[in-house]
Amino acid sequence: MSVNTHAGDLLLEYTKLEFLLLGDLRSALQERDRERDNRWLLTILDRLVETVPREFELREEGGYLREVLEVRPTLSPEVEMLQAEHSRIFLMLRRLRDSVARKATFTFLADQLQSELRDWMALLIDHNRRERALFQTTFNHDVGCAD
């Protein structure tokens, strides 16, 4: 996650936008007004398709989780696993976005597709949580009291 100041500011903006879009996506999936079409849902997914890969690119700039690996090189397998998930997360999002685009109205969104969208959100949220946890366990040292 090593980035220069400008890239760091950009990453923060993308992270905020992603958070807002996930909230919008959650709301759209809970929407009970089945008469409205899927344009809003598709708009959210289109923005996520633009945002998520750019956020991942910014995180990988200068070496993905480079600071973590400099301090704890033994975490390399965990870092590699998280980085490999970036492609999977994006490809899954792209497939779901295309599935929604093929549907005529929100009413026709199958329960399975709604479930897959929720699963994708859970995957992304879990990925971000594990990334933060890796950072925190590397850099947050407990300060103990002397006996």
For every residue of 46-79, DSSP letters joined together read HHHHHHHHHHHHHHHTTSTTHHHHHH-GGGHHHH
Please give the average per-residue pLDDT across 101-124, as a whole number: 77
Distances (CA, A) of 143 to 58, 94, 103, 136, 139: 32, 44, 55, 14, 12
Please give the average per-residue pLDDT across 45-60, as a whole number: 93
Quote the crossing angle between the two packed helices 5-30 and 39-60, to the nearest 10°: 150
Phi, psi of 109 (to 5 degrees): -65, 115
Phi, psi of 79 (to 5 degrees): -65, -45
pLDDT at 79: 95
pLDDT at residue 41 above 60? yes
**pLDDT band (50, 70, 90) for residue 105:** low
The CA-CA-CA angle for residues 85, 87, 93, to 5°, reads 100
Pure H helices in 103-147: 111-139
**pLDDT band (50, 70, 90) for residue 127:** very high
- Number of helical (H) and strand (E) elements in the chain, helices listed first: 5, 0
The CA-CA-CA angle for residues 50, 75, 64, to 5°, reads 30
105, two tokens: 């109205």
pLDDT at 133: 93
Q: Where are the domains of the chain?
A: 5-136
Pick the CATH number of 5-136 from 1.10.10, 1.25.40, 1.20.120, 1.10.3470: 1.20.120
pTM over 0.85: no
